[in-house]
Amino acid sequence: MIRTNITLSNYMNKLWEAGNVGVRREAFGPKQEIIAQDRRYTKVHVITEGIVKCFISDENGKEFIQEFLGVGMEFGELEAFNNLTTICSVTSITNLETLSLSHNLYNKLLDEDRVFNKLIMKSLADKIRYKAPRHSYQHAYPIEDNIIRLKETFPEFTEVISKKDIANYIGVTPRSLNRALKELKEKSDRSK
């Protein structure tokens, strides 16, 4: 549920420690908007500490959470390839630290640093791999099954992430999520 990529954060830290000009450490408090949807930016971030949510919101203000990103995940990178506007907003959930670099430097590293190039290529491929089954599963199964599944992969999810965000992640309303949670609880109570 919360994705990570330790290999990449390790590598970024190494670049930073090597004093690579242009790599900057940034820090944010919780609930800060680091990237807004439909805007242009010139930086890529790699998370070194904390969790963000990455979401699309529509005209009615509804949010649909794409992913929760943890240590080692990058964001803002898609726009480094094609100079388009962002499709997601990115907001910190916890305290956050990132290493950021400009599109220019990012592309330069991709060109000149094979290890970096490979890491980013894998990171992109993983994002694709991850998304496909998730959306498929969400469509095909009722809410309850999705919650059970979440609990399995990430038991502490309610402690870190708000109910509203979880609902937006599964793609249902908070009301429906509650209903499902209640029914799950009743079922487990009965079986005791």
Partner DNA sequence: GTATAACCGGGACAAATGTCCTTTTGCTTG
Partner DNA sequence: CAAGCAAAAGGACATTTGTCCCGGTTATAC
Residues that bind a second copy (CB under 8 A): 56, 58, 62, 64, 66, 77-78, 81-82, 84, 87-88, 110-111, 114, 117, 120-122, 124-129, 131-133, 135-137, 139-140, 171
Residue 74 contact, options a second copy, DNA, none, Cβ 5-8 Å cut-off depending on partner type: none
User: Which entry of DNA, a second copy, none binds 78, CB below 5 to 8 A by partner kind?
Assistant: a second copy
Q: Is 59 helix (H, G, I), strand (E, B) or coil?
A: coil
Q: Binding to DNA by residue 40, rule CB under 7 A? A: no
Strands 63-69 and 2-3: parallel
If the CB atoms of residues 110 and 181 are measured against a second copy, the closer one turns out to be 110
- Across the beta sheet with 24-28, the strand order is 24-28, 96-102, 43-49, 74-75
Q: Identify the residue among 24, 154, 173, 184 touching DNA (CB under 7 A).
A: 173
The single residue among 64, 111, 178, 187 that binds DNA, judged by CB under 7 A, is: 178
CA distance 48 to 5: 10
Torsion of CA 111, 49, 64, 143, to 10 degrees: 120
Length of the chain: 192
**Span of 11-19, 20-28, 97-105, 159-167 interacting with DNA by CB under 7 A:** 159-167
Alpha-carbon distance values, 19 to 15, 70, 112, 129 (Å) = 7, 24, 17, 33
Q: Does 172 bind DNA (CB under 7 A)?
A: yes
Residues that bind DNA (CB under 7 A): 142-144, 162-164, 171-176, 178-182
